[in-house]
């Protein structure tokens, strides 16, 4: 027989763990399934300074406290496996997994998270959290008074470059297209081109990340 739950949460990022904490406080029989590591992408962040009530912590340690908080509830279980299918049935859902079989639940919460679009170049994975970042609002202050490179010419890249310019001393935007051509909206393009801190490297791509050697 399938094991039955009141709540089944797919994904163990901050949202999924928070849902498990709330479900546990409501004494609902809850299962949280995570396919890899608990905590999601924030675990790659070396320093977290913008979470309410936490002046300074690592993303990994902060998520360990989330996980422990969720596990403290007697009605909450955490399992590591991959969900392969969620099927609605008359009285809820059947959730199938790769290695743990099937479960039934009255409610399913999906905390699927996000995955950054990677360039798959040398040094990218090695320096994540140590100079390579995928979130300007998360990490901008770490680049204060530094020269940085932004790859891309779409809305997100250009608007986040505008935000980063408040912190960095210089921003180089690497653009695949010929000179003057950006993929972002016209307002963002006009603003970024008029920003004195910003320069463009046209008709180019990034080939490798290296740590700068101190002279």
Catalytic residues: 135, 138-139
Distances (CA, A) of 12 to 16, 31, 38, 75, 125: 5, 11, 5, 16, 22
Which own/partner pairs from 44-49 qualify as long-range (CB within 8 Å, at least 24 positions apart)?
44/128, 44/129, 45/129, 45/138, 45/139, 46/129, 46/130, 47/142, 49/141
Q: How many whole angstroms separate alpha carbon 179 and alpha carbon 156?
A: 19
Q: Enumerate the β-bridge partners of residue 33.
A: 10, 79
Output the six-digit token pair for 144. Answer: 């204060």
Alpha-carbon distances, residue 61 vs 58, 103, 135 (angstroms): 5, 30, 19
Instruction: Confirm if 104 and 93 have CB atoms less than 8 A apart.
Output: yes
């Amino acid at each position: 027989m399938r094991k039955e739950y009141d709540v089944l949460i797919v994904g163990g990022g901050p949202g999924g763990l928070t849902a498990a904490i709330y479900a546990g406080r409501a004494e609902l029989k809850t299962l949280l399934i995570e396919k890899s590591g608990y905590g999601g992408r924030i675990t790659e962040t070396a320093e977290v300074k913008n979470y309410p009530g936490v002046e300074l912590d690592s993303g990994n340690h902060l998520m360990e406290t989330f996980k422990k908080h969720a596990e403290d509830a007697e009605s909450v279980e955490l399992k590591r496996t991959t969900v392969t299918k969620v099927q609605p049935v008359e009285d809820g859902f059947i959730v199938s997994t790769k290695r743990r079989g099937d479960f039934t639940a009255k409610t399913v919460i999906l905390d699927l998270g996000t995955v950054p679009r990677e360039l798959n170049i040398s040094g990218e994975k090695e320096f994540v959290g140590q100079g390579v970042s995928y979130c300007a609002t998360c990490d901008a202050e770490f680049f204060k008074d530094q020269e940085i490179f932004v790859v891309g010419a779409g809305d997100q890249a250009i608007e986040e470059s505008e935000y980063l310019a408040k912190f960095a001393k210089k921003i180089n935007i690497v653009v695949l297209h010929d000179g003057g051509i950006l993929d972002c909206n016209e307002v963002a393009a006009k603003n970024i081109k008029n920003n004195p801190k910003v320069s463009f490297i046209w008709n180019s791509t990034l080939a490798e990340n290296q740590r700068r050697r101190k002279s």
